[in-house]
């Protein structure tokens, strides 16, 4: 018998036999935290409104119908209508295999016969409680996944911007998302090609199915077929067990093939055959598997030039680019930089628990003049680094540690205004950073005494 603190679970027993109910409750109370009993099935709806049970033991036959089990099936259906995840174990003195099969098909979890053996009954209840726990976990994960999906779907998966260029991308996503057209995404590294692919998937009717991303640039020629099409156990030296490929994993969902321009000509031919036939054959198998996927590909390479140079198959290009979306470089959407910077600032200030809530005008001016060769990804990393390293509430130009833009070569400070106090603050911060906070050296560089520099530090809150 368990101690009170070790007990868990809530069960409900419904049977018209009062002696049976009392006996069951007396036995089960030694093992289960809460055992409720009820003679009348009519009160089931109100009981389920007020309490959530881990397991419900339901008699198959009541006084009006002593052997057919009709009432039990009726109340099983009512319980599952009210709580679809309810775990119901049916009990009867007149059970047989056919009724058991019918009960399971109707939604029951298990089936026990009266008179029962206490230990067998307890084992059935424990296994049913574990099932309920698993169902609750799955339901919780589904809710969490939906919340995550809703958040990720907001702003097209963090595709943030108000420029004309990025709004063209948004409109194209809206138009094509709910089709099955293959999509080719073109753009420089760091422009957000995978974000666009995810946005298309989340806005489509396949959004409850898998989104599988594959970086083709990181897969060797020898592993290509195994990774994409799967393999059977023993197909090659290290194949200790069978494994499904990415195409099968993405079945009924979306497959995103990134860096498709890196594929060699032989691998392009293999991919083309799969896309034409809509079937794959795992390595080491003769069996073809049908696949149903939405294909989205991406590359930062000049794919049309590759076709001209016979480095990329024209027929494969036609197959993958039913719809083509070109993502603008960040330097083509400068007006989006403040919005993106503020977005990443909020994310990383929260992530690293930093009291950084604003970028100075000077910092924003420097960011809009910078050429951003790494595009949005570089901007994101620059903000993250600045938040980590900064100890003040406002990010300054020098906090961003950007490499010098060719357009501003030779400039040490970029100013978007000429307010003397603001210029002095920028100069003091820059010199302090140069000398790692050494007041004596910084004061010497600025032509000030240590006390004068201290007064200015206090005045500007540096």
CATH code at 385?
Answer: 1.10.8.60
35 against 136, higher pLDDT:
35
Give me the pLDDT at residue 50, please: 86
Q: Is residue 150 situated within a structural domain?
A: no
Give the residue from 108, 140, 172 where a domain finishes. Answer: 140
**H or E segment to which residue 212 belongs:** strand 211-215
Cα–chain center distance at 331: 29
Two tokens, residue 249:
């994993």
Two tokens, residue 65:
């119908």
**Over pLDDT 70: what percentage of the chain?**
89
Q: At 419, is the pLDDT very low, low, confident or very high (cuts 50, 70, 90)? A: low
Give the residue from 270, 296, 328 where a domain finishes. Answer: 328
Two tokens, residue 33:
């935290």
Could you tell me the residue range of the domain that residue 344 belongs to?
A: 330-409
Same domain, 302 and 423: no
Same domain, 169 and 216: yes
Q: At 61, is the pLDDT very low, low, confident or very high (cuts 50, 70, 90)? A: confident
Give me the pLDDT at residue 191, please: 94
Residue 361 has pLDDT above 50, yes or no: yes
Same domain, 49 and 66: yes
CA distance 454 to 448: 10
Mean pLDDT, residues 173-183 taken together: 94
Residue 151 has pLDDT above 80, yes or no: no
Give the residue from 111, 140, 169 where a domain finishes. Answer: 140
Residue 448 has pLDDT above 80, yes or no: no
Same domain, 86 and 165: no
**H or E segment to which residue 440 belongs:** helix 439-446
Same domain, 294 and 365: no
pLDDT tens track for 277-296: 999 999 888 889 999 999 99
Which CATH number is 449's domain given?
Answer: 1.10.10.60
Same domain, 307 and 359: no
191 against 158, higher pLDDT:
191
Same domain, 282 and 203: yes
Residue 189 has pLDDT above 70, yes or no: yes
Query: Which has the minimum average pLDDT: 16-25, 273-282, 392-401, 410-419?
Result: 410-419
Same domain, 389 and 276: no
Residue 5 has pLDDT above 70, yes or no: no
Within 199-349, strands assigned E span 211-215, 230-231, 243-244, 254-258, 279-280, 289-290, 294-299, 323-326
Q: Is residue 146 situated within a structural domain?
A: no
Q: Is residue 399 situated within a structural domain?
A: yes
Two tokens, residue 114:
């009266």
Residue 205 has pLDDT above 90, yes or no: yes
Q: At 95, is the pLDDT very low, low, confident or very high (cuts 50, 70, 90)? A: low
Query: Which has the minimum average pLDDT: 232-241, 277-286, 348-357, 412-421?
Result: 412-421
Same domain, 123 and 235: no
**H or E segment to which residue 443 belongs:** helix 439-446
Same domain, 104 and 191: no
Which CATH number is 43's domain given?
Answer: 3.40.50.2300
Number of domains within the chain: 4
Q: Is residue 136 situated within a structural domain?
A: yes
Q: Is residue 163 situated within a structural domain?
A: yes
Q: Is residue 423 situated within a structural domain?
A: yes
Q: At 102, is the pLDDT very low, low, confident or very high (cuts 50, 70, 90)? A: confident
Give me the pLDDT at residue 160, please: 87
Q: At 339, is the pLDDT very low, low, confident or very high (cuts 50, 70, 90)? A: very high
Residue 390 has pLDDT above 90, yes or no: no
Same domain, 133 and 171: no
Q: At 215, is the pLDDT very low, low, confident or very high (cuts 50, 70, 90)? A: very high
Q: Are 358 and 393 contacting, i.e. CB atoms less than 8 angstroms apart? A: yes
Select the highest-mean-pLDDT range: 76-90, 96-110, 131-145, 389-403.
76-90
Residue 69 has pLDDT above 80, yes or no: no
Which CATH number is 208's domain given?
Answer: 3.40.50.300
Same domain, 88 and 132: yes
The bridge status of strand 8-14 relative to strand 55-59 is parallel
Q: Is residue 175 situated within a structural domain?
A: yes
């Amino acid at each position: 018998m368990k101690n009170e603190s070790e007990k868990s679970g809530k069960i409900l027993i419904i049977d018209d036999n009062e002696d049976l109910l009392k006996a069951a409750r007396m036995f089960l109370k030694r093992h289960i935290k809460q055992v409720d009993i009820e003679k009348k099935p009519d009160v089931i709806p109100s009981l389920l409104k007020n309490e959530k049970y881990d397991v419900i033991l339901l008699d198959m036959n009541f006084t009006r119908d002593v052997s057919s089990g009709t009432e039990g099936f009726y109340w099983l259906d009512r319980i599952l209508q009210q709580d679809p995840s309810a775990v119901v174990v049916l009990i009867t003195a007149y059970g047989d295999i056919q009724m058991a099969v019918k009960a399971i098909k109707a939604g029951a979890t298990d089936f026990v016969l009266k008179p029962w053996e206490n230990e067998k009954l307890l084992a059935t209840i424990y296994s049913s409680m574990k099932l309920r726990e698993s169902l609750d976990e799955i339901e919780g994960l589904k809710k969490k996944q939906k919340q995550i999906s809703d958040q990720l779907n907001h702003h097209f998966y963090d595709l943030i911007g108000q420029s004309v260029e990025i709004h063209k991308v948004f409109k194209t996503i809206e138009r094509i998302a709910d089709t099955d057209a293959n999509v080719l995404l073109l753009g420089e590294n760091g422009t957000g090609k995978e974000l666009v692919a995810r946005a298309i998937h989340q806005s489509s009717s396949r959004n409850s199915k898998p989104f599988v991303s594959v970086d083709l640039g990181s897969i060797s020629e020898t592993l290509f077929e195994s990774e994409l099409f799967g393999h059977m156990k023993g197909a090659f030296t290290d194949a200790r067990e069978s494994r499904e490929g990415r195409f099968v994993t993405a079945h009924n969902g979306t497959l995103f093939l990134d860096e498709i321009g890196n594929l060699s000509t032989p691998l392009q031919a293999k991919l083309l055959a799969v896309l034409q036939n809509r079937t794959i054959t795992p390595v080491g198998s003769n069996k073809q598997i049908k696949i149903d996927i939405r294909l989205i590909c991406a590359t930062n390479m000049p794919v049309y030039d590759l076709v001209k140079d016979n480095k990329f198959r024209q027929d494969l290009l036609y197959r993958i680019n039913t719809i083509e979306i070109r993502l603008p470089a960040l330097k083509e959407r400068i007006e989006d930089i403040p919005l993106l910077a503020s977005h990443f600032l909020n994310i990383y200030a929260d992530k690293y628990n930093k009291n950084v809530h604003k970028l100075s005008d000077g910092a924003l001016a420097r960011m809009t003049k910078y050429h951003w060769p790494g595009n949005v990804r570089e901007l994101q990393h620059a903000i993250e680094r600045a938040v980590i390293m900064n100890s003040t509430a406002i990010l300054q130009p020098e906090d961003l540690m950007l490499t010098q833009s060719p357009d501003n070569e030779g400039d040490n400070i970029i100013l978007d205004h000429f307010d003397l106090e603001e210029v002095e603050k920028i100069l003091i911060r820059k010199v302090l950073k140069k000398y790692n906070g050494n007041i004596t050296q910084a004061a010497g560089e600025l032509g000030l005494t240590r006390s004068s520099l201290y007064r200015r530090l206090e005045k500007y809150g540096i």
